[in-house]
Chain A
């Protein structure tokens, strides 16, 4: 597996800056993490990868015979107005909307014109094997620079129907005082593919980004995503990610609250069935005084599903008067389901308020009985209660259209 990954790495490119980026990734990538890697102790992504998934993505959409893509993802439209961008089998459809106050480019163009250089690879690749792998391969993605309030959500669709691997690199920049909603929707069919995404997000002074993600990849897929977020003074990063797809998945969010009054809300939910492995990992770094973070995570595992939650709040020395809260609650609906939870607080400053908690249990029998006693069949009653349980992690989403995306669980 490792040999195929190493052998296929692109060694040159028309764009020298992109070739240089690939080289950085190549040098940083040593091996796929295994159980001996602390951050992947519970999450065996390597074991879920197959040789069939390691085919490289084509540079143009394989469904485009006349230059237009006719693939499934393109047909599906949202029930609300949005600026939509589509990736099909790892290939970005290049007909962009013009959005007032937003600069949008493909990753290739952004790298070529040196727009991206200020923002790319702004974290230590050595610590993130999959991000290093992404860097070694990435030649597709979006560069989105937002300079004012955006009137509708920006929605990124990712669709796969072919056995291959996609390494997508997005850069999202919010300039001073800008405000935007970005939604990512991941979907796929039966195909066995490996989707490895890195988002680098920069939130300037007093800017606000609401970042939502619905991970509903195909059931044979492997999904690994890292969002690396830097928040400046008074900036706000609010996010929610629901994971219910893929055979094995990990969504990792790493937030750096770099200046005073920077704030992050990193909520998540997961719903694992059959033999799914779903990992939610967060790391919130409070680097400055008066920073604030909150995390509400809800999970459900049934059948033989394996859920993993690793959540860290790290408070640096001098980051006084900060607040960091985290609560994880899970339902285990079968004896064969497995849950690994590792909350961690690392506090190196005095005068801070921090808390974390984790619970796990079954559905409440009295609630179930109440619904059934009103004629609702047991299966349906269970679904209602599961949905209500998960809902606590996304109940606060203001945009009702976006909230509805997560409401439709099945």
Chain B
């Protein structure tokens, strides 16, 4: 495979409030690939997704991140998104007073504007959203509510997946570092992700147990401990990890 690289992280060191959490982290993701990062709770997996998306409050001390040929760390949060980065959040925030449809329209048109395309008119927008929503089993009643307000955990994940389907990112990050997705939600999200993967996109999964990997088959599994990747393998590595437990596995890998 001579696929184009989408994301290249080199020697990334980052943390929060003076505490270094990501240490000398390296990872390359090419088009069409699915990567899974697994590690124990508290290892800093979520910090990685926050640093990549540009969440305020995190300091990058050293290293480089190239995303689709651009220096990711120089871009604002919104420009990273418009360049094709999408984070499926672990706990999507509820925003009362902002209707979901109006939020979606803002987001879609922001990306179109960024890419120099004309904004969608109301009928075209409605048609597009209805089509994608239907595929994910989202009814029109859910679309009428405010952003994430009153949704169950599973419903929130459906809405995240809908946003992803509409924004068609080149790299999606699914952060499930320590949340337990129920099986139904898992199926919907993984279907959405699998549908999107046309060979030109990539996916980074962040999780602490391998349930998710039953539905979305990773090409690479990375074990994350002490701020960086200590071992990389194929999907069998996830099973091995599950069987041994993190503590023993990490001890072994570090010897």
A contact residues vs B (CB 8 Å cutoff): 364-367, 369-378, 380-381, 384-385, 387-389, 391-392, 395
The answer to whether the Cβ of B55 comes within 8 Å of any Cβ in the partner chain is yes
A376 contacts B89, CB within 8 Å?
no
Which of B87, B95, B111 lies in contact with A373, CB distance below 8 A? B87
How many whole Å from B113's CB to the nearest CB in chain A? 9
| Interface-central residue, B81, B146, B167, by most chain A CB under 10 Å | B81
Closest 7 CB pairs of A and B: A388-B97, A375-B81, A374-B107, A372-B77, A375-B110, A391-B97, A375-B82
Instruction: Let me know if B56 and A365 touch, CB within 8 A.
Output: yes
- Residues of chain B whose beta carbon lies under 8 Å from any beta carbon of chain A: 53-56, 76-78, 80-82, 87, 89, 92-93, 95-98, 102-103, 106-107, 110-111, 114, 146-147, 163, 167
Separation of A391 and B96 alpha carbons in the complex (Å): 10
| Given known contacts A378-B76, A385-B98, A369 and B106 CB-to-CB distance under 8 angstroms | no
Task: Tell me the nearest residue of chain A to B95, going by C-beta.
Answer: A367
> For the complex, what is the distance from the CA of A401 to the CA of B17, rounded to whole Å?
49
B173 → chain A closest CB, angstroms: 10
- Asked whether, in the complex, the Cβ of B167 is within 8 Å of the Cβ of A375, the reply is yes
B93–A389 CB distance below 8 A: no
Q: 17 A–B contact pairs at CB < 8 A? A: A365-B56, A370-B147, A371-B107, A373-B54, A373-B78, A373-B80, A373-B87, A374-B103, A375-B167, A376-B107, A378-B76, A380-B110, A384-B106, A388-B95, A388-B98, A392-B96, A392-B97
Binding site secondary structure of chain A: helix
Per the bound structure, the CA–CA distance linking A287 and B70 in Å amounts to: 69
- Closest Cβ–Cβ distance, residue B63 to chain A (whole Å): 21
In the complex, the answer to whether B89 meets A370 with C-beta atoms within 8 Å is yes
Q: Which of B78, B81, B82 counts the most A-chain CB atoms under 10 A from its CB?
A: B78
Contact check, A378 vs B78: say whether CB atoms are below 8 A apart.
Answer: yes
Would you call B97 and A376 a contact (CB within 8 A)? no
**Set of chain A residues within 8 Å of B77, measured between Cβ atoms:** 369, 372-373, 378
B167 touches A374 (CB 8 A): yes
Q: How far does the alpha carbon of A408 sit from the alpha carbon of B156 in the complex, in Å?
A: 29
Q: Report Cα–Cα, A145/B146, bound state, in Å.
A: 40
CA distance A380 to B76 in the complex (A): 14
Q: Chain A contacts of B92 at CB under 8 A?
A: 370
Chain A residues contacting B87 (CB-CB under 8 Å) are: 373
Most buried by B among A366, A367, A372, A377: A372
A364 vs B167: C-alpha distance when bound (angstroms): 24
Closest to B55 in A: A369
| Contact present for B98 and A384 (CB under 8 Å) | yes
| A387 lies within 8 A of B111 (CB) | no
**CA of A380 to CA of B56 in the docked complex: distance in angstroms?**
17
B106 touches A380 (CB 8 A): yes
**Which of A364, A378, A384, A391 lies in contact with B103, CB distance below 8 A?**
A384
Contact between A388 and B110, CB atoms less than 8 A apart: no
> In the complex where A369-B55, A369-B56, A374-B107 touch, is A388 in contact with B96 (Cβ < 8 A)?
yes
Q: What residues of B have a CB within 8 angstroms of the CB of A374 in the complex?
A: 81, 103, 106-107, 110, 163, 167
Contacts A369-B56, A384-B103 given; does A376 touch B95 at CB 8 Å: no
List the B side residues contacting A364 at CB < 8 Å: 93
Q: What's the minimum C-beta distance from B250 to chain A, rounded to whole angstroms?
A: 31
- Cα(A389)–Cα(B95), bound, Å: 10
Q: Which residues of B contact A370 (CB under 8 A)?
A: 89, 92-93, 95, 147
* B97/A387 in contact, CB under 8 A: yes
Least CB distance from A408 to B in Å reads: 13
Is B93 within 8 A of A376, CB to CB? Answer: no
A277 and B73 alpha carbons, distance in the complex (Å): 41
A404 to chain B, nearest CB (A): 13
Determine the chain B residues whose CB is within 8 A of the CB of A381 once the complex forms.
Answer: 78
Partner of A376, one of B53, B56, B80, B110: B110
Query: Contacts A370-B93, A371-B106, A374-B110 given; 6 further ones with Cβ under 8 A?
Result: A370-B147, A372-B81, A373-B89, A375-B78, A378-B76, A392-B97
